[in-house]
Structures are given as structure tokens and as C-alpha cells.
Amino acid sequence: MAAWDADGRRRASQVGGVVVPGTATMLRGRILSTKRLQWKKPLWWLPLFAAAALVLACSAPETGQVPDEWQQAVDRFGETLASDVEQDGVGSITAALARDGDVLWWGAYGWADPDAQVPADRGTIYRTGSISKSVTAVLMSILAEDGTVGLETPLQDLVPEITQLMERPPDANPTLRQVASHTAGLEREPGLPDAAAGPIETWTAKILESIPTTRYQTSPGTEYSYSNIGFGILGFSLERAAGVPFMDQVEARIFEPLGMTSSTFIIDGRLQPSLSVGHANGPEGEVNTERPAIEHDGRGYKVPNGGVYSTVDDLAAFAAGVMGRGRPPLFSDAMRAEVLSVQTPESPDSGYGLGFSINTVDDRVFAGHGGSVAGYTAYLLFEPATGLTVILLRNYNRGRTNLGEAAGGLLRSLSAS
């Protein structure tokens, strides 16, 4: 937490064992009120925010230590994030580097809540967007190992309502594997106007309402076709297969075994103080906090494909569980090979596995996923061969940092060291 001088300047802060000097003169009271500025172009206050931006750089925490040969690359990474967040002048980024689930370095930059002047820190909670798809596919893989489902189980066996899908190709019968790899042929979103709105408790009803308004755009198994509604239906199918609510299964089979105590689909009183405020910012600098706030109460069918909240530590543990390194493995080596192998037909080396993007660069294989929802963006990237993982979480949509490029650049530089 920043300390303040009598004249309103931020003093040096003791964070993660490192003294971080104050970066700018700051005003007492609020820096700005996003509520008063919703969907208005920021003009006069941008220089004020830039001058007053809180930047906390945290390194070498108690859980790990960055090897000397990596320190320069990690320092550059953190300095770039700090500069980007200060220039963006919107919210915060929390980032971490981990190995086998143990955090070696973390940094938090900017405000988790600008109105209340709450700085981001290691435990700040963000929505993860489509990283939720990775969680859903991992649950599917766990259930496949215990015999509840099979990767080749036809989706129609669990959700016969998919016969209502529009423009169905002859003999189309997509499998769970195909849905989890975006090769089922389904379009990105359903045609239902309010599919992404409504209380979280009614998400399964929204799935059933959405199915008749969803089209096939290719035949199953023929090409990669990214589908949010496909992953929504996949999560629903796992609930039916196990006879246990989807969110409860994720909690019991993934979050609890990995100690992901700050990960959830529903923010309760315990986690609320750590939740960052989402900022849906537009290309002209306009900022909206109402829409992200509304989505905390419900986002229609978008639970299996976009409902997970998490922290950098929890996502490091999740990646370790997937890799089977440093945390209880979530499945066998054979299943891991399925999950982290390219399933899409376009390229044998790079594409989409079961819930993860897979990329091969100079004979190094990287897996991960990005995420973007109203007011939040996220990226998780890991290298199974080394156990290295980079996580970036941000509470605004548009910014100078390309999260995927930043994560990939850091991991590649460390792998080459």
C-alpha cells in the first residue's frame, strides 16, 4: 500500500521486500471518478491521471527467486508493463512468472479500484474471460479419465437438443473432442438477442434457449471454427453427464485440489475486497464501468466459456496441474498428451488442443489461452517442457500492452537463456 506525505506526495513504498520510490506527485482524494465519466471522452483529466498513476513494481517475493541470468529480461518486462499502465491511465495489470506452480516474480501496476484508490497487488482478482474454456476442457478430460464421458462421446448423447441446431450438415454428430477443440463446426455466438445476459443461476436455461438459434458454419471435424456457444454447450453436457452442477464440479475437481482459493464463478463476501473494478474502455478513451459491474451478477450462458475469476497465483497452480509439475496432476500423462496436442487440421505444429492454444516456436512448444470480457483481459502461457508460466491479468480492455505478445516474448527469452 502506498504511503503519503503531508503535502500529498506518495512516499517510497515497501512492497515484496523491495523499496519502490514514489513515481509522481499525487493528489489527495480521488484521482477520478469512473462513474461520472462513463462513456464520455476523457479530455482534461488524462494528463492528471498520467501524472498521478500509481505504479507498484514488486519482485523477488518470498515464494521464489529469479535466476540471475533471467533478471535482466524480467526487469525489462516489468518496466514495460509499468510504463504501459501509467500511459494507459485506466486501471491495473498484475503479472507473474512461475515455475512448476511456484511464483518466482510478480508485479502489480496501477489501480485495482481507481475511485477508492486501491492499488493492484498480488492477490487482486480479475475475470479471466476465455481462459475459462481451458478450465472447462480440463474438467472434460478429468471426467473422460474416470469414465463419466469419453472424448469421442457424441455431444448429442448428452444434449439431444442439439438436433435443433440450424443448417445442420448431413450426418453431423460432433464429439466432445471436437467441441473442446473448436472443430465441431458451430458458429461463434448464438442468435438469441439476450444470450449473454441474465442471472448466473439461469445459465443452463440460456444454453437451451440459445441452441435453436445457433448455426453450423462447417461440417464437424473439417476445420477450426472458434465457438463460444460450443463451449457453453460443452459445460452443460458435463453437468448432465455427471449429474452434478458444472460450477460445483470445477470447484471440487480443479480449484480445491490445486489450492486455488481465490478462483470462483461467483464473488462472495470473502473475495469481494480483492476484486478489481472492470473498465470497458473504447478506442476514443471512453470508459464504462457499469457494464462490467452488471456482468458480475450474471452473463447469460457465458459461464463455461467466460465465467472464471482468478489471480496470478491460482492460474500458476492451474498451469502446473495441467503440466503435472509441482502440483497434484489433474490427469494421466496419456490424457495430458491429448490435451496439449494440436487437434485442429490446419497445421500439425500450431493450432488448438483441448481447451488450449498450442504454438511451436523454434522447436519449443507453448500452450495457453487469452481472455477478454467486458472490462477485463487476461493471458496464460506456459511451456510444458520447462514448467515455466507467465500470467497477465488486466482490468481494462484496450491498452498499450499486447498481453499475448508480452507473455510469449518473456517466455521465449527465458527459454533461450
pTM of the model: 0.87
d(CA 130, CA 127): 9
Residues 104 and 190 in one domain: no
Residues 53 and 150 in one domain: no
Residue 4 lies in a domain: no
Residues 273 and 382 in one domain: yes
Residues 227 and 366 in one domain: no
Over residues 133-174, the pLDDT tens digits come to 999 999 999 999 999 999 999 999 999 999 999 999 999 999
Residues 285 and 410 in one domain: yes
CA dihedral sign, ordered 7, 9, 12, 15: positive
Residues 83 and 115 in one domain: yes
The DSSP element (H or E) to which 38 belongs, if any, is none
Residues 280 and 381 in one domain: yes
Query: What string of H, E and C letters represents the secondary structure of 239-270?
Result: HHHHCCCHHHHHHHHHHCCCCCCCCECCCCCC
Domain housing 152: 133-254
The DSSP element (H or E) to which 280 belongs, if any, is strand 280-281
Give percent above pLDDT 70 in the chain: 84
Residues 124 and 149 in one domain: no
Residue 8 lies in a domain: no
Can you give the pLDDT at residue 73?
96
Can you give the pLDDT at residue 225?
97
Residues 193 and 326 in one domain: no
Angle at which helix 68-88 crosses helix 403-415, to 10 degrees, equals 170
Residues 77 and 115 in one domain: yes
Residues 170 and 319 in one domain: no
d(CA 23, CA 21): 6
Q: How confident is the model at residue 65 (pLDDT cuts 50, 70, 90)?
A: confident
* pLDDT above 70 (res 23): no
- Of 351, 353, 361, 350, nearest to 385 (Cα)? 361
For 131-236, strand residue ranges (E) read none
Domain boundary among 192, 220, 254: 254
CATH number, position 329: 3.40.710.10
Number of domains present in the structure of the chain: 2
Can you give the pLDDT at residue 38?
36
Residues 323 and 201 in one domain: no
Helix residue ranges per DSSP H, 152-197: 155-158, 176-180
Instruction: Record the cell numbers describing residue 38, joined without a space.
Output: 462513463
Over residues 214-223, the pLDDT tens digits come to 999 999 999 9
Over residues 201-212, the pLDDT tens digits come to 999 999 999 999
Q: How confident is the model at residue 21 (pLDDT cuts 50, 70, 90)?
A: very low
